[in-house]
Homo-oligomer: A and B are copies of this chain.
Amino acid sequence: MTKEHDLINRYFAPLCSKPNEAPAFGLLDDTALLQPAKGKEVLVTMDTLVADVHFFANDPAKAIARKALAVNVSDIIAKGGLPHSYLLSLALPKGVSSDWLEAFSSGLSEAQKLYDCELIGGDTVATSGPLVISITLLGEVEKGKMVRRMGARPGDQIYVSGTIGDAALGLLLRLADDRMTRIDFAKAHQDFLLDSYLHPRPILKLAPLWAQYTSAAMDISDGLAGDFAKLCAVSKVGGVIEAAKVPLSDAATSALAQSPGLRETVLTGGDDYQVLATIPADNADEFEKNARNATRIGEILSLEKGVAILDANGIPLDLPHGAFDHFSK
């Protein structure tokens, strides 16, 4: 019939598991049907990535696809939920090749397996500008268990998942920033950081633990320092993070050992897509027993105490760049 119809049939309909059943009905209806499981509620989030703002237009199409899904997955995990299904909007510049679309679709297919969700709808349009990818991700959470940003209380312990700063260092490396290029670096460490920028690694397994134990949580997309300030502002509390406790990969540790000034990049750079969470002190031990890949990095204080990241001597770091904000570029 039409070109859009062909595109959908060729690249996107194969991403639905059941061609003639809910939720997606093989993408034939322009509308999907959600039937939440008993005792579950539906989470929904939407993130948009623009070429040469949120990724490089010449990044591998597979990596772009996976990132577009991953940045949404991290929002759902941070709310204590697990991904269920997603809608994809693609505004395609002229001249996108079928090879690119093939790779993009195959990247989505791999990401779906990784994050246990499937395509259920969307739209494909042409644009005279750069590639714009919007994904709306639907997730499921136990009834009443959605974790809010609001809810942190003085005395709560602060945790992050995974390691922090790898993507921001990977981006500097990608940009051949001389703070990175002058470092004597193991090839494996360089590859790890570059890959961290291309492939965010939200940790699905932690979602049920966030739902069970946390008083507040959010995903870290705009830098730990800025997002920590946002969580505290919404919860109307203060708090301190100890910089020395922020979990670093071996690659980031090696970079910071040689170039200590990169600490600011680690703490304020974006694209971590890990979770920042607060857990009441009474639950912290039990949480730590159950949680892998989560590290205690600080404590929530009362509002008057303000928000700070402390160095090894307990002195607040001066982080002039504050939060990373794609929009202000």
Contact = CB atoms under 8 A, between A and B. Distances in A.
Contacts of A62: none
Interface residues of A, number: 75
A109 B54 CA distance: 29
Given A41-B33, A44-B87, A79-B31, A325 B2 contact: yes
Nearest to A71: B123
A45 interface: yes
Nearest to A131: B129
Interface string A84-125: 000111010100000000000000000000000000111111
B29 A34 contact: no
A293 interface: no
A126 interface: yes
Given A29-B79, A43-B31, A128 B127 contact: no
A127 B130 contact: yes
B50 A126 contact: yes
A120 B44 contact: yes
A309 interface: no
Interface string A45-73: 11111101110000000000000000000
The interface centre, meaning the residue of A29, A33, A36 with most chain B CB atoms within 10 A of its CB, is A29
Nearest to A23: B44
A301 interface: no
A30 B325 contact: no
Tell which of A46, A53, A129 has the most Cβ of chain B within 10 Å: A46
Contact of A125 (B34, B54, B136, B234): B54
Interface string A240-255: 0000000000000000
A156 interface: no
B128 A48 contact: no
Contacts of A215: none
Contact of A52 (B121, B128, B138): B128
Interface in A192-235: 218-219, 222, 226, 229-230, 233-234
Nearest to A328: B3
A3 B226 CA distance: 13
A289 interface: no
A238 to B, nearest CB: 16
Interface stretch (A144-152, A170-178, A181-189): A144-152
B35 A41 contact: yes
A284 interface: no
A77 B302 CA distance: 49
Contacts of A312: none
20 contacts: A3-B328, A4-B325, A25-B150, A28-B148, A28-B234, A29-B148, A30-B75, A31-B43, A31-B44, A31-B45, A34-B36, A35-B41, A36-B42, A42-B42, A44-B121, A46-B121, A49-B125, A50-B128, A125-B326, A128-B130
Interface of A: 1-5, 7, 20, 22, 25, 28-36, 41-50, 52-54, 75-76, 78-79, 87-89, 91, 93, 120-130, 132, 134, 136, 138-139, 141, 146, 148-150, 218-219, 222, 226, 229-230, 233-234, 323, 325-329
